[in-house]
């Protein structure tokens, strides 16, 4: 096997890397006086733009009823099979409503297909990005956690109207 | 009398910080010299290809994001371009331009990671942070447009998920203006740094012939002096409209095809990408982005192979259809995976510390090597 010999004996001037190191340190020093680019995250919260695809939520109208008509399109389009909908009938105008609506947040890949496919704009991606669970059961979000009042989702609904 | 020496096998990884993911290298050593390196891959295997068979065609797109997660946009790009050729869809001009802009920004972002972590691997911590600073701006641009920072799911067959935000174009121009001097800063800090050059020049020399024989593509092949770029050689989308060059390795600091050449090709590619984005922003037409999205994607029976120039090399999708809504077979030709094959060859005869330098210059992403 051919073994390559490497040049290892540098002269003294070659061994002195100090100018190179000083150059790096100089740049760092210069940047100390420039504005910071970092964010001190847990103390300062990051405010995402309207386009942000965070946790999917169900839109709750002002009268407290969800928009969802339990058509099940979101469950069908979901690539990760994270959504489960069980439909039931209601006396309201929309006739059908989801008796049970569950999103398994461990499975969800935040692709936004559910929002895209929804004919009623009933499921949208919110700005929530802090998703921590203590166990797997907590990660299955039912209607109690998914329903969000429409007042909090105006940003996103407007974004969808403009850019989709 | 010579002392009797024994060869040693050393396992590097899977949790080694410089292997860029879960990769195990079985290194055969003679003292400090390397006799052979055997990469063991598959720790991150997620059955992408098999999984696609259970998905409908659009549902595959979010999973292409997860292959090479540092260049998700380009993985989307490759898939949709292939699918559009398969279905015979002509997408609107605006969509093509936005795709090119996004793809080239992604190339810059991916190369920034490659360069930054390369420095980090061999002991230069500072450039890594500056690279991340610039990448952050690109990610914010992506986030403003499609809502995700890493796994975009932005390009759809026949169109895009969202139109550009009105702020996008000015912000992108602003970024390019800030970014150009930053490349010079990076060059002064790392590329021409003597310590860095000593560490990378004449290391891991890949002759052009070997590179071609192994099917190496991307900056690695160009680092060996071969002028091969699919954007020029087999233009897809609208790349034939832009004026840019293909940077190749010159052996400026050592031998042609060494680690430094591969590194520097990436730096120069970022400059070229900046040029492309600038031109695309100037020419960006108005229009509807959703005009060509088909209601139902059902390609004819048959198969197709489409390839694009991913930041890491040739990304090819082989898609076979049986006429249903799900692909019958999807095969991915990943650049990282193929570039990885030559790794053992490159390491032979070098010192053990050079393994890290060579691995960094190959620029692999384990998400795609293992799929």
Nearest chain B CA: its distance from A152 CA (Å):
17
* A12 pLDDT above the threshold of 70: no
* B257 pLDDT above the threshold of 70: yes
Question: Sign of dihedral through CA atoms B38, B39, B42, B43?
Answer: positive
- A104 found inside a domain: yes
Count of positions (residues) in chain A: 164
The continuous run of DSSP H or E covering A20 comes out as: helix A18-32
- Looking at residue B318, its pLDDT comes to 92
Q: Are A51 and A163 in contact (CB under 8 A)?
A: yes
Residue from B63, B147, B164, B358 whose CB has the most chain A CBs within 10 Å, to mutate: B147
Q: Are B25 and B12 in contact (CB under 8 A)?
A: yes
Model confidence at B363, pLDDT cuts 50, 70, 90, reads confident
CB contact under 8 A, A111 and B151: yes
Contacts of B146 in chain A (CB under 8 A): 51, 53
Nearest chain B CA: its distance from A97 CA (Å):
26
- A101 found inside a domain: yes
Q: What is the pLDDT of residues A16-64, one digit of tens each?
A: 777 777 888 888 888 888 888 888 888 988 888 888 888 888 888 888 8
Could you tell me which residues come within 8 angstroms of residue B230 by beta carbon, excluding any fewer than 6 positions away?
B236, B307, B308, B309, B314
Task: Report how far residue B366's alpha carbon sits from residue B370's, in angstroms, rounded to the nearest whole number.
Answer: 6
Question: Sign of dihedral through CA atoms B138, B143, B148, B149?
Answer: positive
Question: What does the domain layout of chain B look like in residue ranges?
Answer: 8-370
Q: What is the pLDDT of residues A64-123, one digit of tens each?
A: 888 888 888 888 889 888 898 888 888 877 788 888 888 898 888 888 888 888 888 888
Q: State the residue range of the domain holding A130.
A: 56-163
* Out of A17-21, A122-126, B135-139, B268-272, least confident range: A17-21
Please tell me which of the candidates B62, B165, B350 has its beta carbon nearest to residue A51.
B165
Domain count, chain A: 1
Quote the tokens at residue B312.
């890491």
- A48 found inside a domain: no
CB contact under 8 A, B348 and A1: yes
- Looking at residue B291, its pLDDT comes to 76
A/B interface, count of CB pairs below 8 Å: 80
Chain B residue closest in CA terms to A27: B189
Residue B325's nearest CA partner among B297, B301, B303 is: B297
Q: Residue B12: beta bridge partners?
A: B25
- A99 found inside a domain: yes
DSSP B240: G
Q: Are B60 and B79 in contact (CB under 8 A)?
A: yes
DSSP B32: T
Diameter of chain B by CA atoms? 81
Diameter of chain A by CA atoms? 90
Could you tell me which residues come within 8 angstroms of residue B67 by beta carbon, excluding any fewer than 6 positions away?
B48, B75, B332, B334, B367, B368, B371
CB contact under 8 A, B63 and A17: no
Chain A residue closest in CA terms to B57: A79
Main-chain phi, psi angles of B302, to 5 degrees: 145, -170
Nearest chain A CA: its distance from B246 CA (Å):
30
Could you tell me which residues come within 8 angstroms of residue B257 by beta carbon, excluding any fewer than 6 positions away?
B205, B206, B207, B208, B211, B223, B224, B225, B249, B251
Return the CATH number of the domain spanning residue range B8-370: 1.10.645.10
B63 at interface of A, judged by CB pairs closer than 8 A: yes
Q: Is the ipTM of this complex over 0.90?
A: no
Chain A residue closest in CA terms to B349: A3
Count of positions (residues) in chain B: 371
Angle at alpha carbon of residue B85, lines to B84 and B89, rounded to 5°: 50
- Looking at residue B1, its pLDDT comes to 61
Task: Report how far residue B211's alpha carbon sits from residue B257's, in angstroms, rounded to the nearest whole number.
Answer: 9
Nearest chain B CA: its distance from A79 CA (Å):
6
Residue B256 has, within 13 A of its CA and on its CB side, a CA count of 13
Contacts of A51 in chain B (CB under 8 A): 143-147, 162, 165
CB contact under 8 A, B62 and A111: yes
* B278 pLDDT above the threshold of 70: yes
Task: Report how far residue B342's alpha carbon sits from residue B209's, in angstroms, rounded to the nearest whole number.
Answer: 12
- A49 found inside a domain: no
What's the whole-model pTM score?
0.88
- Looking at residue A1, its pLDDT comes to 44
CB contact under 8 A, B147 and A111: no
Q: What is the pLDDT of residues B43-101, one digit of tens each?
A: 888 888 888 898 888 888 999 888 888 888 899 999 999 988 888 888 888 888 998 99
Helices of type H across chain B: 48-52, 57-65, 72-87, 93-121, 126-146, 168-186, 194-200, 208-214, 219-223, 230-233, 259-283, 335-341, 343-347, 352-362, 366-370
Nearest chain A CA: its distance from B146 CA (Å):
6
- A5 found inside a domain: no
Please tell me which of the candidates B33, B136, B147 has its beta carbon nearest to residue A52.
B147
Q: What is the pLDDT of residues B14-30, one digit of tens each?
A: 887 777 778 888 888 88
* A5 pLDDT above the threshold of 60: no
**CATH assignment of the domain containing A143:** 3.30.70.3270
Q: Are B348 and B35 in contact (CB under 8 A)?
A: yes
Q: Residue B305: beta bridge partners?
A: B318
Contacts of B349 in chain A (CB under 8 A): 1-4
């Amino acid at each position: 096997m051919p073994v390559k010999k490497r040049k290892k004996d540098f002269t003294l001037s070659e061994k002195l890397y100090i100018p190179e190191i000083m150059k790096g340190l100089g740049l760092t020093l210069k940047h100390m006086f420039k504005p910071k680019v970092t964010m001190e995250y847990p103390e300062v919260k990051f405010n995402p733009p309207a386009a942000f695809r965070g946790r999917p939520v169900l839109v709750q109208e002002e009268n407290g009823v969800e928009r969802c008509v339990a058509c099940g399109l979101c469950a069908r389009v979901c690539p990760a099979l994270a959504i489960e909908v069980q439909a039931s009938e209601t006396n309201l105008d929309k006739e059908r409503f989801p008796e049970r609506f569950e999103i398994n947040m461990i499975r969800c890949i935040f692709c936004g297909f559910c929002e895209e496919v929804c004919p009623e704009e009933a499921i949208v991606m919110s700005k929530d990005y802090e998703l921590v669970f203590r166990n797997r059961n907590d990660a299955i979000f039912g209607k109690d956690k998914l329903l969000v009042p429409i007042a909090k989702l105006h940003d996103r609904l407007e974004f969808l109207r403009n850019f989709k | 009398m010579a002392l009797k020496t024994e060869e040693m096998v050393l396992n590097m990884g899977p949790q080694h910080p410089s292997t860029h993911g879960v990769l195990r290298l079985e290194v055969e050593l003679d003292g400090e010299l390397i006799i052979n390196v055997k990469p063991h891959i598959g720790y991150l295997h997620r059955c992408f290809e098999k999984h696609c068979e259970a998905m409908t065609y659009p549902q595959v797109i979010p999973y292409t994001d997860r292959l090479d997660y540092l260049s998700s946009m380009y993985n989307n790009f490759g898939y949709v371009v292939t699918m559009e050729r398969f279905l015979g869809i002509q997408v609107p001009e605006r969509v093509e331009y936005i795709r090119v802009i996004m793809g080239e920004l992604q190339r810059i972002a991916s190369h920034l990671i490659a360069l930054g972590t390369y420095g980090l691997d061999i002991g230069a911590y500072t450039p890594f942070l500056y690279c991340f600073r610039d990448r952050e701006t690109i990610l914010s641009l992506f986030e403003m447009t499609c809502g995700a920072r890493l796994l975009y799911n932005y390009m759809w067959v026949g169109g895009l998920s969202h139109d550009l935000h009105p702020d996008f174009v000015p912000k992108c121009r602003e970024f390019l203006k800030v970014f150009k001097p930053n490349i010079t800063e990076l060059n002064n800090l790392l590329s021409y740094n003597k310590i860095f050059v000593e560490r990378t020049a004449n290391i891991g020399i890949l002759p052009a012939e070997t590179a071609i024989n192994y099917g190496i593509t991307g900056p690695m092949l160009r680092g060996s002096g071969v002028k091969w770029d699919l954007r020029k050689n087999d233009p897809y989308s609208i790349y034939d409209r832009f004026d840019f060059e293909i940077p190749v390795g010159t052996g400026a600091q050592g031998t042609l095809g060494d680690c430094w050449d591969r590194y520097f090709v990436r730096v120069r590619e970022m400059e070229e990408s900046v040029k492309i984005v600038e031109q695309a922003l100037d020419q960006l037409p108005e229009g509807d982005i959703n005009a060509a999205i088909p209601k139902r994607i059902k390609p004819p029976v048959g198969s197709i192979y489409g390839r694009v120039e991913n930041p890491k090399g040739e990304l090819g999708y082989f898609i076979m259809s049986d006429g249903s809504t799900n692909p019958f077979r999807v095969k991915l030709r990943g650049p990282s995976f193929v570039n990885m094959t030559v790794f053992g060859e490159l390491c032979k005869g070098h010192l053990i510390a050079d393994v890290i330098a060579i691995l960094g210059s190959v620029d692999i992403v384990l998400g795609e090597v293992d799929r």
